[in-house]
Amino acid sequence: MRQKRQRFRIMAALLIALLAVAGAYGVYTVSTYSSRWFGNTGNTRYQEARSTVIPGDVLDRNGVVLASSDESGKRIYNDDWYVRCAMVHITGDPDRNIPNAVDSFQASYLLGFQTSLRERIGTLLSGDRRRGDNVILTVDAQLQTRIAEAFASGEDTRGRPGAVVVMNYRTGEIITLLSIPNFDPMGDLAEIAQRPNSPFWNRAVRSVQAPGSTFKIITSAAVLQYMPGAANAEFDCTTGATQVDDQIIPDYGNGHHGMVSLADAFRVSCNNAFAQASVRLGSKYLRRTAEDFGFNDNFLFRDLVVENSSFPVDIATNGELAWSGIGQGRLLVTPLHMCMVASAIANEGVMMEPRLLLGVTGPTGIQRQGFTAKEYRTACEPQYAARIESFMKDVVARGTGRSAAVEGLSIAGKTGSAESSINNNKVTHAWFVGYIDEPEYPYAVCVFVENGGTGGAVAAPLAKQIFAWLTEK
């Protein structure tokens, strides 16, 4: 009997401990990620508040009003058509066609659910309709609009879908989060829904594609960490093609580079070298490094929802491993995540969590919340980040990314030309990721152009314009 009582006590203690852990985790997730749940269409409190509260304003980092409301609570967007279109995937539209845009994701602030009891009583006594808080974002509307116009008018980008992300790699602040095609939230939304290329789809955070040669940043990190003698290793690209099992890995345009070091292979984006390096490494170390950079993680960021990136966990052949090492095969990644990868290299291996919320102020001007930076993970050690940075600077100085160079600035970058298919037709997506290595301008950039062609010819020139705009006085 005594033993049974003891067992019951132990079981009761374990149950209480489990309930305490579950309760603590619940409080943590509600306080940290409640935005995901609050703006859900099934939340009756949210639906009720939309009809009784005048939503607060949404502003950019410079005070530009992106969305406001009239006295009836109807949403009004910026007077400038170009600004409205460029910012729509961030602010949202009246019918909530864009999932997790600010108007819904930050609804707990915009609809006044964070106001104090004292503030609510004051509003009640005044007889005025309750107003929500104003949300200030980290984005720069002027910069995002300029980039959108450049994307729409560029000879190689005009009419093509894509995305551009700009981040502060020290703090994680998102300066630009652009998705193309965009649209006017004050336009005919039923007609817009019928347009090609899914205009409601936010490609910056939801479109997952093969990263192409931009993934060689991660493959290089794996080689430097796990391949003995990597600094002096040479790879054979004398024929321009490497056979791995029954797979032939060619270089783009059937080029060949002779015997190359890792640094040289990175500069010219040699597929042969990175395929061979991946096979030497083995899938265990390549996958481990990819996961260090956030692949296969469940992204639960505070300020925005991002599709998870994936690296295959069941690579069975060296052929598939070789394709993975050059950024092809079953790899999938969003433009925002690739901007985070470049940011980690710039930030000495530390990847910051992307932030979109700069601050929140109440209707009376009281500050509800300020900006906080948060480290997401350590992607690699500083010495490896420094080596890869030297590789990336060489790419821009005299490699495939020369079109991204800006006179007077230290630019690091990597191009990518990812082969894919659309409606069974082979296409090449253009990528460029890079950053400014200047203390005054801690910005990383990712440019992605669907069916655009090569990263060096299409994505890098737009990145060059962005780097120049970021450093304008």
Kindly tell me if the per-residue pLDDT of 43 is higher than 80: no
pLDDT bucket at 26, cuts 50 / 70 / 90:
very low
CA gap 82, 150 in Å, rounded: 12
**How confident is the model over 13-27, as a mean pLDDT?**
51
Stretch 244-265: mean pLDDT: 87
The average confidence (pLDDT) of the chain is: 90
Q: What number is the average pLDDT over the span 155-162?
A: 96
Beta bridge partners of 403: none
* pLDDT value of residue 30: 44
CB atoms within 10 A of CB 397: 15
Confirm whether pTM is higher than 0.85. Answer: yes
Does the pLDDT of residue 313 top 70, yes or no? yes
Q: Is the pLDDT of residue 20 over 50?
A: no
pLDDT in tens, 338-388: 999 999 999 999 999 999 999 999 988 889 999 999 999 999 999 999 999
Q: Which residue has the tokens 């720069």?
A: 140
Q: Which candidate, 156, 172, 271, places its Cα nearest to that of 219?
A: 271
- From 283, 282, 313, 284, select the one nearest 296 (Cα to Cα): 313
Average pLDDT of span 230-253: 86
pLDDT at 17: 53
Task: Give the residue-averaged pLDDT of 454-467.
Answer: 98
pLDDT surpassing 50 at residue 138: yes
What's the whole-number mean pLDDT along residues 424-442?
95
Element (H, E) at 377: strand 375-378
Q: What are the residue ranges spanned by the domains of the chain?
A: 212-470
State the Cα–Cα distance between residues 262 and 225, nearest whole angstrom: 13
How wide is the angle at C-alpha 194 spanned by C-alphas 188 and 198, nearest 5°? 105
CB 400 within 8 A of CB 267: yes
How much of the chain, in percent, has pLDDT values that exceed 90?
Answer: 75
**Nearest one of 281, 291, 289, 284 to 228, comparing CA atoms:** 281
Cβ count within 10 A of residue 394 = 18
What is the pLDDT, as a whole number, of residue 31? 45
pLDDT band at 292 (very low <50, low <70, confident <90, very high): very high
Q: What is the pLDDT of residues 47-67, one digit of tens each?
A: 555 667 899 999 999 999 999
Mean pLDDT of 126-133: 76
**C-alpha–C-alpha distance, residues 116 and 243, integer Å:** 67
Distances (CA, A) of 71 to 52, 74, 223: 11, 7, 60
Q: State the Cα–Cα distance between residues 225 and 255, nearest whole angstrom.
A: 28
CATH number 3.40.50.300 is the correct assignment for the domain at 212-470: no
Per the listing, tokens 């995002």 go with: 144
